[in-house]
Chain A
Amino acid sequence: MSQAATGIDIKKSAIDSVLAGLIALVVFGPIVGLVLDGFAFNAEPKRLFAIVAVVMVGRFLASWFFQSTKGRDFLYKHTSKDEGVHVLAPGHKSKLKWIIPLTILIAFAVPFIASKYVLTVVILGLIYVLLGLGLNIVVGLAGLLDLGFVGFYAIGAYGLALGYEHLGLGFWSMLPIAAIVAAIFGAILGFPVLRMHGDYLAIVTLGFGEIIRLVLTNWTDLTHGPNGMNAPLPTFFGLEFKRRASEGHVPFHEFFGLSYSSAYKYIFIYLVLLLVVLGVLYVKKRLTQMPIGRAWEALREDEIACRSLGLNHVLVKLSAFMIGASTGGLAGVFFATYQGFVNPSSFTFFESALILAIVVLGGMGSTLGVVIAAFVLTVAPELLREFADYRVLAFGILMVLMMIWKPRGLVRMTRIGVSAREGNVK
């Protein structure tokens, strides 16, 4: 009777197993058990029974596991409908601290081991990480639903291209300028929507994203409209990554006596991008621990309470919009330099939806979740190139399933609680 002591009911497991087997028989029977041969059917019971047996054994083991103490904990952890943020005790130290340096180390090693193709995919992934982090501040932390985030992405990307063509500025000057310009646009968007919430805010921001795209498409004197614009590559202390440098410049490969390879520029972009992403991650981590970060979260949780406590909601909302927007702008600059070319069709509503999906799938407010989701949603479509036609379908199904089973996203927002002065209040 040892099983009874741990509360495992074999009979229940057996019933579960038989039921699952019957369902498998019905589902797989016509598909696997019958093979069309000309105009006749051939029964293939062996294959069918193998599958049914696997399902039954699997269900039996799963049922067994979920009745054990460990399994019950697992189930509780993953199905409980406990809403909101998970807050750890103030002195909490993660046991997985070593994972961060290890990840950074691997990240820096990637360009030297991966192929050029893989590298370009990872760069795209990192660009979406930046976008996700930016939107995460607006949606995840401050709780302002923004459907026009792609506008800031476009401002960053076109900032680089326009600055290069009209002002003769390169990548390095435009990187900070584009971030600042995007932040200013963030404020411009922020002001009129200060009093809006939820759906209304979403509609206005949606309009903002579309306005940016339409202006870029139609202001042909400035942006060349749908023909797009060229964007410059970054330089390495004045060395260019082209085969032949422009006048007065030396190409990177000649200076170091290497033979030309187009991979160098991707390696360089990757490394710069990685540093920027790490910088943004660090800044974001610090911000969430500062009063402004707490103010964002407070605003998300209860705006009226915030105002009754003397919090200036104008400053709080604008700062969230501006910091989020500037991160989007940075991502745009990298996107433009990585493509070497920008065109309004890169900045459609679908991009906004994708970025929002990254934040929602990752887990609102969760940095780790956003990073993982950004890679899943950008790298997975690359891996699934053969199923190109079904990619958006798969994306939709994934969203629906996630919202049903994991409404809080892959990684629930977790943060370490704040105390007045650690240890002082006993």
Chain B
Amino acid sequence: MTALMEFKEVDVHYGPIQALKKVSLEIKEGEIVTMIGANGAGKSTLLMSIFGQPRISAGQIIYRGEDISNKSAHYVASNGLAQSPEGRRIFPGMTVEENLLMGTIPIGMDHADEDMRKMFDLFSRLEERRNQRASTMSGGEQQMLAIARALMSRPKLLLLDEPSLGLAPIIVKQIFEILKDVASSGMTIFLVEQNANHALKLADRGYVMVNGEIRMTGTGDELLVNPEVREAYLGGH
């Protein structure tokens, strides 16, 4: 398997503050890779730097053999990378269907019917609410919508930024069940999470980020039983 995306010694600075320090990682095709870390570790910065927000100050981001570190956000997003942003960022004044249609921007409306059908099969709650404004839905439903919207562009790589943020444990469980379904269809997923337990159970491989550096890496199962990870992220039991 070849690497679909590769970070090579990436540095990111916010003014004088260095947010990422020589981060290297790779995501292979068909893999589920997770990045766990505490608040402020630089997880979201890493994800957003793929879109040039912020621009990296050193290193390279290679996506399908091309260095995308200087490309504009919409160029990157329309080349098979879809993101479910942190805090969901759905369009509150639009209906569920309209939100999903917004996801088809990079590929056009040709497959809209078919893909929307698929999304409604995957997220049955969304079908019930298809003509409802997104702002009237619960947090979990909004998160489902954000993931479905990202999937509407038929991405090669799905980027998820904290899908469990602010959701009840039972809803988090549901969402990870669905992600498992998505993954089993062969989708490559890069998941950035604080909820290490769920994320590592789902992932093939994981990275642990501390203060802008990759501290540890290994398979999901390895990290789950790693005493250091357990201490820091899994409440030590």
Contact of B106 with A301 in the complex, beta carbons under 8 Å:
no
Closest CB in chain A relative to B131 CB, distance in Å = 5
Contact of B153 with A309 in the complex, beta carbons under 8 Å:
yes
Find A310's partner among B78, B95, B112 (CB 8 Å cutoff). Answer: B78
Give every chain A residue within 8 A of B94 (Cβ-Cβ). Answer: 85, 87, 294, 297-298, 301
Contact of B74 with A311 in the complex, beta carbons under 8 Å:
yes
Contact of A85 with B93 in the complex, beta carbons under 8 Å:
yes
A308 sits at the interface (CB 8 A): yes
A406 to B98 alpha-carbon distance, docked (Å) = 27
Q: Given the known inter-chain contacts A310-B106, A310-B153, A421-B112, please indicate yes or no for A301 contacting B92, CB distance below 8 A.
A: yes
Find B93's partner among A87, A291, A309, A312 (CB 8 Å cutoff). Answer: A87
Find A308's partner among B77, B98, B131 (CB 8 Å cutoff). Answer: B77
Give every chain B residue within 8 A of A85 (Cβ-Cβ). Answer: 93-94, 133
Q: Given the known inter-chain contacts A89-B131, A311-B74, please indicate yes or no for A420 contacting B91, CB distance below 8 A.
A: no
Contact of A425 with B117 in the complex, beta carbons under 8 Å:
yes
Q: Given the known inter-chain contacts A87-B131, A310-B77, please indicate yes or no for A417 contacting B85, CB distance below 8 A.
A: no
- Report the nearest A residue to B132, measured CB to CB: A87
A215 sits at the interface (CB 8 A): no
Contact of B131 with A417 in the complex, beta carbons under 8 Å:
yes
Give every chain A residue within 8 A of B106 (Cβ-Cβ). Answer: 309-310
A-B pair count, CB < 8 Å, reads: 104
Contact of A310 with B105 in the complex, beta carbons under 8 Å:
yes
Interface residues in B97-139 (C-beta closer than 8 Å to A): 97-98, 101-103, 105-106, 109, 112-113, 116-117, 120, 130-131, 133, 135
Give every chain B residue within 8 A of A279 (Cβ-Cβ). Answer: none
Closest CB in chain B relative to A180 CB, distance in Å = 27
B43 sits at the interface (CB 8 A): no
Closest CB in chain A relative to B2 CB, distance in Å = 24
Closest CB in chain B relative to A74 CB, distance in Å = 21
Contact of A304 with B89 in the complex, beta carbons under 8 Å:
yes
Contact of A310 with B74 in the complex, beta carbons under 8 Å:
yes
Contact of B95 with A417 in the complex, beta carbons under 8 Å:
yes
A222 sits at the interface (CB 8 A): no
Contact of A311 with B112 in the complex, beta carbons under 8 Å:
no
Give every chain A residue within 8 A of B53 (Cβ-Cβ). Answer: 307
Give every chain A residue within 8 A of B83 (Cβ-Cβ). Answer: 308
* Interface bits A394-426 vs B (CB < 8 Å: 1, else 0): 000000000000000000000001111100110
Number of interface residues of A (CB under 8 A): 30
Give the secondary structure class of A's interface. loop
Closest CB in chain A relative to B7 CB, distance in Å = 19
A298 to B133 alpha-carbon distance, docked (Å) = 13
Q: Given the known inter-chain contacts A84-B92, A304-B85, please indicate yes or no for A425 contacting B113, CB distance below 8 A.
A: yes
Contact of A420 with B97 in the complex, beta carbons under 8 Å:
yes
Give every chain B residue within 8 A of A309 (Cβ-Cβ). Answer: 77, 82, 102-103, 105-106, 149, 153
Contact of B102 with A420 in the complex, beta carbons under 8 Å:
no
Number of interface residues of B (CB under 8 A): 37
- Report the nearest A residue to B76, measured CB to CB: A310
A83 sits at the interface (CB 8 A): yes
Closest CB in chain A relative to B130 CB, distance in Å = 8
Give every chain B residue within 8 A of A424 (Cβ-Cβ). Answer: 113
Give every chain B residue within 8 A of A83 (Cβ-Cβ). Answer: 92, 135
A366 to B98 alpha-carbon distance, docked (Å) = 19
Closest CB in chain B relative to A191 CB, distance in Å = 15
A308 to B72 alpha-carbon distance, docked (Å) = 10
A90 to B82 alpha-carbon distance, docked (Å) = 27
Contact of A311 with B89 in the complex, beta carbons under 8 Å:
no
Find B116's partner among A295, A297, A298, A425 (CB 8 Å cutoff). Answer: A425
Contact of B95 with A87 in the complex, beta carbons under 8 Å:
yes
- Report the nearest A residue to B95, measured CB to CB: A417
* Interface bits A75-99 vs B (CB < 8 Å: 1, else 0): 0000000011101011000000000
Give every chain A residue within 8 A of B56 (Cβ-Cβ). Answer: none
Q: Given the known inter-chain contacts A420-B113, A424-B113, please indicate yes or no for A90 contacting B131, CB distance below 8 A.
A: yes
Closest CB in chain B relative to A144 CB, distance in Å = 16
B90 sits at the interface (CB 8 A): yes
Contact of B85 with A305 in the complex, beta carbons under 8 Å:
yes
A421 to B117 alpha-carbon distance, docked (Å) = 12
A90 to B94 alpha-carbon distance, docked (Å) = 12
A221 sits at the interface (CB 8 A): no
A302 to B146 alpha-carbon distance, docked (Å) = 13
Q: Given the known inter-chain contacts A83-B135, A84-B133, please indicate yes or no for A420 contacting B112, CB distance below 8 A.
A: yes
A313 sits at the interface (CB 8 A): yes
A418 to B98 alpha-carbon distance, docked (Å) = 6
A420 to B97 alpha-carbon distance, docked (Å) = 8
- Report the nearest A residue to B120, measured CB to CB: A425
Give every chain A residue within 8 A of B90 (Cβ-Cβ). Answer: 302, 305
Closest CB in chain B relative to A298 CB, distance in Å = 5
Chain B CB within 10 Å, residue with most, of A87, A90, A291, A310 = A310
Contact of A84 with B93 in the complex, beta carbons under 8 Å:
yes
Interface residues in A330-348 (C-beta closer than 8 Å to B): none
A308 to B155 alpha-carbon distance, docked (Å) = 13
Chain B CB within 10 Å, residue with most, of A87, A90, A308, A421 = A308
A374 to B112 alpha-carbon distance, docked (Å) = 39
B73 sits at the interface (CB 8 A): yes
B51 sits at the interface (CB 8 A): yes
| 14 examples of A-B residue contacts, CB within 8 angstroms | A87-B94, A87-B133, A295-B105, A297-B91, A298-B91, A305-B90, A306-B102, A307-B73, A307-B74, A307-B77, A310-B73, A310-B77, A312-B72, A424-B113
- Pick the 5 closest A-B CB pairs, nearest first: A310-B77, A310-B78, A305-B89, A85-B93, A420-B112
Q: Which residues of A contact B (CB under 8 A)?
A: 83-85, 87, 89-90, 291, 294-295, 297-298, 301-302, 304-313, 417-421, 424-425
Known: A308-B77, A310-B73. 17 other contacts (CB 8 A): A84-B93, A84-B133, A85-B133, A87-B94, A90-B131, A301-B92, A302-B89, A307-B77, A308-B89, A309-B82, A309-B106, A311-B74, A311-B77, A312-B74, A313-B74, A420-B116, A425-B117
